[in-house]
Structure 1
Amino acid sequence: MAFINRKYKDSVFTDLFGSDIKAKKNFLELYNALSGNDYKLNEVSLERKVIEQSLYKTFNNDVSWEIDGKLIVLVEHQSTINENMPFRCLEYVTRIYEGIVPLQKRYAEKVYKIPNPDFYVVYVGKDKQPLEQELHLSDAFYKKDSSKLELVVKVKNCSDSRSLPISRNCDILKQYCQFIEIVEQTFNKRSPRRSFKKAIDIAISEGILSDYLNRKTREVINMLCAKYDYKMDIAVKKEEAFQDGMEAKAIEAAVTLVQKYNVSPETAAKDMDAPLDKVLEKINS
């Protein structure tokens, strides 16, 4: 039976680096490793920035913090790297700025200061990718010219905990990747909850995220169930669409995924091999 609980809409990544009681410490360790900075927890101001997901469905695994006047947006990718990420980050950061700048200040003569943005994708998928790469908003323009609008997303490949380039100075991310590997290895689609509990027990016994997993065993199982329900739903719906041989079935399935799992239309269309324009048309009809 398909399962998703709105209380557990966060992924483990989002919870670990965004919502958990130790998220500030975890985030700062990760950001220092990604950026090369050396911020100390007791020396900086940190504030979580969250967009209401019921109003904005593009990002599900985002972690956004303002740190000493700088806005950091981290996004986890577990399958393929989306080359539309710069545009999606543009949409996302605009929503955050709307929440920062009071409406009346937008029309004032004096400039209202906003935090400098920095964007990272933490890639933990299985496809072969460079250790580091950049995605540019300008790559989406019809023609590259002297246009002043640009947004750069830095993609860090953290898919293998054994060769993780930043593992030496980011133990929490290394442990997270190790845990995800254990989850993948032990997953059993016939008894997912039992397999997730087994993965948690193995991780704890090996000292991987042991404090976090001991505190939040039930929550982590629910978050993993939501994620894997989506993956299994995709497999079922793709098989149905293939058997029916109908594009319309794939489009319908993609729309259902958007509504049921709060994923973006782009993600659902790609996962279902459905034309994005027709998925969007169906959603907006």
Structure 2
Amino acid sequence: MKPKRSYKDSLFRHIFNDKRRLASLYTALTGRSVAPKDITITTLRGVFFNDIKNDISFRIGDRDIILMEHQSSWNPNMPLRMLWYIAKLYSRQLDSRELVYRSRLIPIPAPEFYVFYNGSHDEPDYQELHLSSAFSHATNSLELVVNCYNINYSTQNRLLDSCYELRCYSIFVQKVRDGLRDGLELKIAIRQAITYCKTHDILADYFQKNESEVFDMVNFKWDQKRALEVAKEDGFADGERKASMKIALSLLKKGLPIGIITDSTNLSLEEIRKIAKDNGLAF
């Protein structure tokens, strides 16, 4: 019996954990035609802070390695996060002994970094984030550039026009939001969005085959997002650091992933571990 996928998986990752859909998305981004057979999926699973994982990474032959992240909350620190991910992927691919003893240059696949954003914060259709923007002073010793695309549904969005699968994902999310805006309960809004997609040929086969998993994933993610918002509101009136610690404690009690807590509070892993220990929480 095939195990049921974790509710904590994301719909974006679930849809694009497929070589044919990845090839379509990458062609829309770059104009380069890629055969699905040339793609090797290399997504990291639970390698940082107990459970942080990147959304999607894949190699195209031995020449390129592509990292893609979906974001429903705007995060200017994505270049640093991508640096962690690419370092882990390279270290997993290479034998560390080669780095010490080889006298010749070791070739590595060239990286590309993409973020797909569909949150409520107003962002342009395309922008670049630079790792160097976070440096304490100007230096040219290291740079990493992330290509960020706003994929909120719009009939004027070039990328959505170029990639059928991404457009379908965007329409589905918009339909859920429309239902919530109309006062529907979350579960009903999700069901109606799934039905709409199945009856309007919007990744209809996918939603037909994965209806139960899609419902569970989206329901979990939306409830998780609401928990974050409530926790932030609870800590708003305190001082900045005190509020961050209060938010972290609240999220720990709710059992949210450590990676989400670090992103939401800007506290270090060590600080969050101490908060958990001081309050008798498992970590």
Note closer, same or farther for the CA distance 1:180–1:61 as it changes in structure 2 (3 Å cut). Answer: farther
Relative contact order, CA 8 A, sep 6+: which one is greater? 1
Cα displacement (A) at 1:234: 2.1
Letter in 1 for 2:256: Y
Number of equivalences: 266
Moved more, 60-69 or 168-177: 60-69
The DSSP-based 3-state class of the residue aligned with 2:255 is helix
Cα displacement (A) at 1:247: 6.2
Q: Deviations over 1:183-209 (max 9, x none)?
A: 111238984333322221122112212
Q: Show the 5 A alignment for 1:82-93.
A: 82-93=75-86
Q: Measure the CA separation in 2 of the matches of 1:124 and 1:208.
A: 18
Of residues 268, 272, 283, the one that matches 1:283 is: 272
Residue 141 of structure 2 corresponds to which residue in structure 1? 148
* Long gaps (5+) in structure 1: 270-275
Note closer, same or farther for the CA distance 1:235–1:144 as it changes in structure 2 (3 Å cut). Answer: closer
Identity of aligned residues (%): 30
Residue 115 of structure 2 corresponds to which residue in structure 1? 121
Note closer, same or farther for the CA distance 1:246–1:47 as it changes in structure 2 (3 Å cut). Answer: closer
Note closer, same or farther for the CA distance 1:250–1:86 as it changes in structure 2 (3 Å cut). Answer: closer
Q: Measure the CA separation in 2 of the matches of 1:6 and 1:260.
A: 19
Q: Are the aligned partners of 2:44 and 2:54 in contact in 1 as well (CA < 8 Å)? A: no
Q: Are the aligned partners of 1:77 and 1:122 in contact in 2 as well (CA < 8 Å)? A: yes
Does residue 7 (structure 1) correspond to residue 20 (structure 2)? The answer is no
Q: Deviations over 1:70-95 (max 9, x none)?
A: 10001112222x22111111011111
Letter in 2 for 1:176: Y
Residue 126 of structure 2 corresponds to which residue in structure 1? 132
Q: Are the aligned partners of 2:43 and 2:54 in contact in 1 as well (CA < 8 Å)? A: no
Note closer, same or farther for the CA distance 1:224–1:73 as it changes in structure 2 (3 Å cut). Answer: same
Q: Measure the CA separation in 1 of the matches of 2:132 and 2:240.
A: 36
TM-score (norm 2): 0.83
Letter in 2 for 1:74: M
Residue 32 of structure 2 corresponds to which residue in structure 1? 37
* Long gaps (5+) in structure 2: 275-283
TM-score (norm 1): 0.82
Residue 215 of structure 2 corresponds to which residue in structure 1? 221
The DSSP-based 3-state class of the residue aligned with 2:56 is strand
